[in-house]
Structures are given as structure tokens and as C-alpha cells.
Amino acid sequence: MEDKIRVLLTEEQVDQKIQELGEAISRDYAGKEVHLICVLKGGAMFTCELAKRITVPVTMDFMSVSSYGSGTESSGVVRIVKDLDEPLKDKHVLIVEDIIDSGRTLAYLIEILKQRGPSDIRLCTLLDKPERRVKKQVKVDYAGFCIPDEFVVGYGLDYNQKYRNLPYIGVVEL
């Protein structure tokens, strides 16, 4: 059965925002190389679109983490399913996520990546749900949109593994 999806952010709004983020990142990293870390699976589409709009030299790596949780809640106990291929020593690391919700996944990830000796670590997310934050120490350097506490899909985000391919952000009307 098809779910009913209400559009929250159109494809044009998302494209425009990614362009702006790409420009801001290119300005801030002028004269440097930025090492993008894509957090799979949700971060894949956003990372690719963002990378296309960054004008400083870019390298990319991919990581997959699984957060033990029930339903739509993450628990903060995070397991690395696929680790990075490259070391982070002396790199300007930019973690790219589709969404920060409780902040549990990122709080854990930032702690383990810091131990690998990067020059600096920043965080870029397409969507932020600040009202939901449990881990207040997670500081978002680049946020596309702050959204209300609704379960969203599209642009990499899934509902039971579906809808990651939607070119817009929507809410599944249950």
C-alpha cells in the first residue's frame, strides 16, 4: 500500500539550501582541503549533492554506523558497521549527516573520530531537530533547515528503508 506523503521542503528549497551550504563551506575552508565523511545510509544523497557545490579541494570517505534502538528512537549505543578507509590525521574533517535528532549518534561518532588526530572536526547536517536534542554538546556548524519534531523522509531519509530516493523532504501521514 502507498503511504501518503506531505511535502515539507520542496526539491527547489533543498537545492537552493545545498548551494548556500556549499558556498559557505567553500568560503570557510578557503586555502584548505576538506575531508568529507558521509554517514551512511541517510547521508549519501546529501553528501554527493553538497560535494558537487564545494569549490575547494575535496576528499571523501564513508562510514556506516548502526544505532541500537527501537522504532524511530536511537539509543546512543552505536556500533561501527563499516569504518573509514582513510586515516584522519591532520585532516580538516567535515562530517555530513542527513539529520541530527537526539544527537546521540553524532555525540558518539565525534568522540571516536577525535581520537584519530584530525586537525579539526566540523559537522554539517541537512536537517536539524533542535527540540529533540538530548546530547546538548553536539554543536552543528552547518545546518540546512531546522525542522519541527515530525518524522521525515526523502533525500536519503527512510521509513522502513523506503523513500530515500525522494528528491524532496516529506512527512509520512500515518
Ligand X SMILES: O=P(O)(O)OC[C@H]1O[C@H](OP(=O)(O)OP(=O)(O)O)[C@H](O)[C@@H]1O
Ligand Y SMILES: Nc1nc2[nH]cnc2c(=O)[nH]1
User: 41 preceded by cis ω (within 30°)?
Assistant: yes
Q: What DSSP line would sit under 140-158, residue for residue?
A: -SEEEEE--S--EEBTTB-
Exactly one of 3, 101, 120, 158 is catalytic; which is it? 101
Of the candidate spans 3-11, 26-34, 89-97, 155-163, the one that interacts with ligand Y by CB under 6 A turns out to be 155-163
Residues in the chain: 174
Active site residue 101: yes
Question: Is residue 164 a contact partner of residue 158, using CB atoms and an 8 Å limit?
Answer: yes
Residue 42 binds ligand X (CB under 6 A): yes
105 binds, among ligand X, ligand Y, none (CB under 5 to 8 A by kind): ligand X
Angle at 148 between CA 166 and CA 21, to 5 degrees: 60
Residue selected from 96, 104, 143, 147 as contacting ligand X according to rule CB under 6 A: 104
Report the DSSP beta bridge partners of residue 55.
none
The only residue of 76, 113, 158, 168 in contact with ligand Y, by rule CB under 6 A:
158
Residues 124-163 that bind ligand X (CB under 6 A): 158
Segment contacting ligand X by CB under 6 A, of 46-54, 85-93, 102-110, 140-148: 102-110
Question: Per the structure block, which three cell numbers stand in for 141?
Answer: 556548524
Active site residues: 101
Q: What is the contact surface with ligand X in residues (CB under 6 A)?
A: 39-42, 67, 74, 97-105, 158
